[in-house]
Amino acid sequence: MPSLTGRMRLALEGSRAFLVGGGAFTPGLELGLRHDGDDAETGTGVELGGRVSYTDPEMGLSVEANVRALIAHEDSD
């Protein structure tokens, strides 16, 4: 019988824009729960992520950086 492979993820994300010069600086934070169902690893985990973006419409500039890490994981096997 074939096994099910996949990941379900539920996340809450928030951000706030700050005006800087002619642009906007926007930091963000994300907290997520995930469940892995795979042949190699299965279980539930907690993810933490962050985001920083800067947009300046006058210059036509937009820059964004994202990071996400698995901070806890419980293996069901």
Predicted local distance difference test score (pLDDT) of residue 75: 74
Domain contains 31: yes
Within 13 A of 13's CA, how many CA atoms are on the CB side?
13
Domain contains 37: yes
Domain contains 68: yes
Domain contains 12: yes
**Number of compact structural domains in the chain:** 1
Domain contains 1: no
Contact yes or no for 18/55 (Cβ under 8 A): no
Residue 48 structure tokens: 């933490």
Identify how many contiguous H helices and E strands the chain contains and give both numbers. 0, 5
pLDDT digit string, tens, across residues 12-69:
999 999 999 889 999 999 999 988 887 667 888 999 999 999 999 999 999 999 999 9
Its domain, for residue 12, covers 6-75
Q: In sequence order, what are the residues at sequence separation of 6 or more whose Cβ sits closer than 8 angstroms to the Cβ of residue 55?
A: 23, 24, 26, 61, 62, 63
Look at the pTM and tell me if it is higher than 0.75. no
